[in-house]
Structure 1
Amino acid sequence: MQVTNNNWRDAHNNDAALPAFLAARVDRYYGERVQQSWGGGHIMRGRVPDANALHLSSNDYLSIARHPEILDAMCSTIRADGNGLLMSGIFLHDDECPQLQLEERFARFMGAEASVLCQSGFAANTGLIQAIANEQTPVYIDMMAHMSLWEGIRSAGAKPISYMHNDAEHLEQRIQRYGPGIVIVDSVYSTNGSVCPLQAFAQVCEKHDCVFVVDESHSLGTHGPHGAGLVAELGLGDRVHFRTASLAKAFAGRAGIISCSRRFQEYFKFEALPAIFSSTLLPHETAGLAATLDVIERDDWRRARLASNALYVRSRLTALGYNLNGSETQIVALEAGPEAQTIVLRDALEAHGIFASVFCAPATAQNRSLMRMSINAMLSEAQLERIVNVCEAIRDEVQLSNWPSTRRLLERGAGRVRTRQAPALLDLPVAA
């Protein structure tokens, strides 16, 4: 049943037969979130985009989701192999198996000894943490790390020990208190686009004999030599024990990857519950990812154009007074704060044809909700100017000066409008 603003009450009434403990939980959602936080509306449901809308909600950073080479590989495979053999990956052992061959190729691409393909980035993260932690393991996690990593800690029965965002000194203090364990970071944080100082964290891990796990979901494909990621760019492959990534971002597919040692690869496949109790990737998904890897390794111009576009938008919005919370990447977040204020921001952007992604609790902390704009490689100069012009035009309407993030910026003494010229857009060819 599709639930709209007009029939939520009726949908809720259909739950009358639920036991009281569950009915009360559903009541809290409708009362506390829908009515109180969202004023009877819905934070995720704004306007329906029209043909002129500019979509900034897709994680297809390199603009390859419709690439003909990838689509041809997928179409020919699905015609030849259908959906293949539907079974758990633990049964795969033939050296000619396309999925196992793709694991070998991803390992070479990432500069690792081996890799494991999973059904999603969520499955990769939950499976990995469940396979390396237990009730006695301290697991140190950045307070802004992706929810799948937190869920992995929970499923392992381990205790999460959070540390301040990107603060290696605070991490070391925590390790000195609780002892060696597992350290988890995102290379690029999906909420605000900030970048982890990986070298400093690697030093702390080595000093205290900790396992180092880096989620590269938002840097694999977009950063590093031929897209191999930030760990590879910084030469940290031998100092990071595990890298994970969702292949639903720059790779525009549906899978997850873990880089690891050859010995751990075997262990993971027979110990991690998501690996044991999930089916393999479908043949056309494997073929599509193989073709995607061809494109990503070859098209360095896409990464250069993405970086140029993102730098331009960040620079211009910073000059307009927006606090981008340290973004250095293609993820540009406008943090309005309370959910009601983010609805105002959403409506203002969408009224001008700009459609971004709403992030709110539990994806963010309470009262730190935001609109996330995902910049991509194929945005034209006119489209980039449109983004900037809209953000300039709506500042008073959305009360930018009253946002908590703006006040934090002013308190740091960095709230003055900058007068330096924005960087020029990179002049690169537009190709399929």
Structure 2
Amino acid sequence: MKAVNNTNNNWRDAHNNDAGLPAFLAARVDRYYEARVQQTWAGGHIMMGREPDAQALHLSSNDYLSIARHPEILDAMCTSIRSDGNGLLMSGIFLHGDACPQLLLEDRFARYMGTEASVLCQSGFAANTGLIQSIANAQTPVYVDMMAHMSLWEGIRSAGAKPISFMHNDAEHLEQRIRRYGPGIVMVDSVYSTNGSVCPLQAFADVCAAHDCVFVVDESHSLGTHGPHGAGLVAELGLGDRVHFRTASLAKAFAGRAGIISCSRRFQEYFKFEALPAIFSSTLLPHETAGLAATLDVIERDDWRRTRLASNAAYVRSSLAGFGYNLNGSETQIVALEAGPETQTIVLRDALEARGIFGSVFCAPATAQNRSLIRLSINAAMSDADLERLVEACKAIRDEVQMWNWPSTRRLLERGEGRSRTRQAPALIELPEAA
């Protein structure tokens, strides 16, 4: 096995001493450095590999539609900063008036998502924790997909509710759990951020309707990228009237810093005066609101970005599957290479970065123990040359990273797939002149 890349001496030296903490806390901090940094990472850091150079291919960003530097969006934000500064800096519960930009944007998001109302929050994390805290309590069974985002789990904890997990994307297992514990709240992601798998929303909507459950769908990784003009997977499947709440982080395809909840008009009022993150956090800044309004213009208009993104992602998935990688059911722009143990993921990270490919390391607690991975986030701006560079690098490193011995590869081979697989990659969609 390749030795761990210990290029993090400055980082290690800066963390050799605590700040005179009491013994009980110092011992807890020490356990992290001893168990993970020293024993597992051999004194390096799994998140800190090489420094990317100007030619690096960055695949760690959630800017799927490649709009983070769009001139229309930046101009809207700059104009707002010059005219409004940072605004009044107050909790959102004080916002009112027919001309309030944030309230107008909430109405616009509601129309966009095909719902009665929406609430803008400080982040996707605040949206999820605030929502669950305002709809669940200690008596509420909350059914949650075992791969659901950590913010949903934290919402359950903050509500004092009972979390009841079910197997990933398994509607039958969910129904078994509901029959045992009774009606409650069901929470899923439409697209799972760890491996890019897609929730069978229709099947889950059927279970929720049959058992009188509240259905919550986190659309963080499908809002903007899926559905009519990017309105999300729920809208694409025509399930808007069967999903009680949709949440999303607007730090993904919307390339901003906020969260959104779709809801009824009556619930909108209730949430703002019941959810603790809504009450005790400052509202969005004026330039953030202006930027999101301009972003919505671009996302609604530029359907070619979704087309190119889907084409790029399909090409990468098909190519990597053809090389024998187990992509764990990805059907989206999120492509995960699951090396398994963290030491092996460091080897994978170093092999990719040596070839100028920089993805995101996911490890516990973002994944289960010994199921760490490198996540590659495909985007709409990737050229044909970028795509070939990526797939050729993944092809070249298979023996170097011992891909054939990964637990995920062995699972694939046990299902009768893997080495013999020879898929034809789909044709790429041409980038428009506007790109």
Number of matched residues?
A: 429
Deviation at 1:357, TM superposition (A): 0.3
How far apart, in 1, do the equivalents of 2:385 and 2:16 lie? 45
Cα distance per residue 1:294-313 (max 9 Å; x no partner): 00000000000000000000
| Match of residue 14, structure 1, among 15, 18, 37 | 18
Q: Is the contact between residue 141 and residue 163 of structure 2 (CA under 8 Å) also seen in structure 1?
A: yes
Secondary structure at the counterpart of residue 79 of structure 2: helix
How far apart, in 2, do the equivalents of 1:31 and 1:310 lie? 39
Secondary structure at the counterpart of residue 212 of structure 1: strand
How far apart, in 1, do the equivalents of 2:384 and 2:16 lie? 47
Structure 2 residue aligned with 1:262: 265
Residue 18 to residue 68, structure 1, CA distance change in 2 (3 Å)? same
Deviation at 1:9, TM superposition (A): 5.6
Structure 2 residue aligned with 1:37: 40
Structure 2 residue aligned with 1:209: 212
Cα distance per residue 1:370-389 (max 9 Å; x no partner): 00000000100010000000
**4+ runs of 1 displaced by more than 4 Å?**
none
Cα distance per residue 1:277-335 (max 9 Å; x no partner): 01110000000000000000000000000000000000000000000000000000000
Q: Determine if the alignment matches structure 1 residue 370 to structure 2 residue 373.
A: yes
Cα distance per residue 1:378-413 (max 9 Å; x no partner): 100010000000001100000000000000001111
Structure 2 residue aligned with 1:392: 395
How far apart, in 2, do the equivalents of 1:259 and 1:125 lie? 11
Q: Is the contact between residue 116 and residue 263 of structure 2 (CA under 8 Å) also seen in structure 1?
A: yes
Cα distance per residue 1:185-235 (max 9 Å; x no partner): 000000000000000000000000000000000000000000000000000
Structure 2 residue aligned with 1:5: 9
Secondary structure at the counterpart of residue 14 of structure 1: coil
Instruction: Give 5+ residue unaligned stretches, structure 2.
Output: 1-6
Deviation at 1:430, TM superposition (A): 4.4
Alignment of 1:77-88 (within 5 A): 77-88=80-91
How far apart, in 2, do the equivalents of 1:283 and 1:174 lie? 45
**TM-score, reference length from structure 2:** 0.97
AA partner of residue 278 (structure 1): S
How far apart, in 1, do the equivalents of 2:99 and 2:298 lie? 23
The share of aligned pairs that are identical, in percent, is 86
Residue 228 to residue 333, structure 1, CA distance change in 2 (3 Å)? same
How far apart, in 2, do the equivalents of 1:128 and 1:401 lie? 43
AA partner of residue 13 (structure 1): N
Q: Determine if the alignment matches structure 1 residue 137 to structure 2 residue 140.
A: yes
Structure 2 residue aligned with 1:107: 110
Structure 2 residue aligned with 1:165: 168
Secondary structure at the counterpart of residue 13 of structure 1: coil
Structure 1 residue aligned with 2:342: 339
Structure 2 residue aligned with 1:423: 426
Deviation at 1:431, TM superposition (A): 2.1
Deviation at 1:20, TM superposition (A): 1.5
Structure 2 residue aligned with 1:219: 222
Secondary structure at the counterpart of residue 297 of structure 1: helix
How far apart, in 2, do the equivalents of 1:430 and 1:354 lie? 26
Deviation at 1:39, TM superposition (A): 1.1
Residue 239 to residue 327, structure 1, CA distance change in 2 (3 Å)? same
Deviation at 1:65, TM superposition (A): 0.4
Q: Is the contact between residue 378 and residue 430 of structure 1 (CA under 8 Å) also seen in structure 2?
A: no
Q: Is the contact between residue 56 and residue 357 of structure 2 (CA under 8 Å) also seen in structure 1?
A: yes
AA partner of residue 116 (structure 2): E
AA partner of residue 243 (structure 1): R
Alignment RMSD, CA only?
A: 1.1
Instruction: Give 5+ residue unaligned stretches, structure 1.
Output: none
How far apart, in 1, do the equivalents of 2:433 and 2:41 lie? 41
Q: Is the contact between residue 5 and residue 42 of structure 1 (CA under 8 Å) also seen in structure 2?
A: no
Residue 6 to residue 64, structure 1, CA distance change in 2 (3 Å)? closer
| Match of residue 354, structure 2, among 351, 354, 368 | 351
Deviation at 1:21, TM superposition (A): 1.3
How far apart, in 1, do the equivalents of 2:116 and 2:8 lie? 50
Q: Is the contact between residue 18 and residue 26 of structure 2 (CA under 8 Å) also seen in structure 1?
A: no
How far apart, in 2, do the equivalents of 1:26 and 1:5 lie? 19
Q: Determine if the alignment matches structure 1 residue 127 to structure 2 residue 127.
A: no
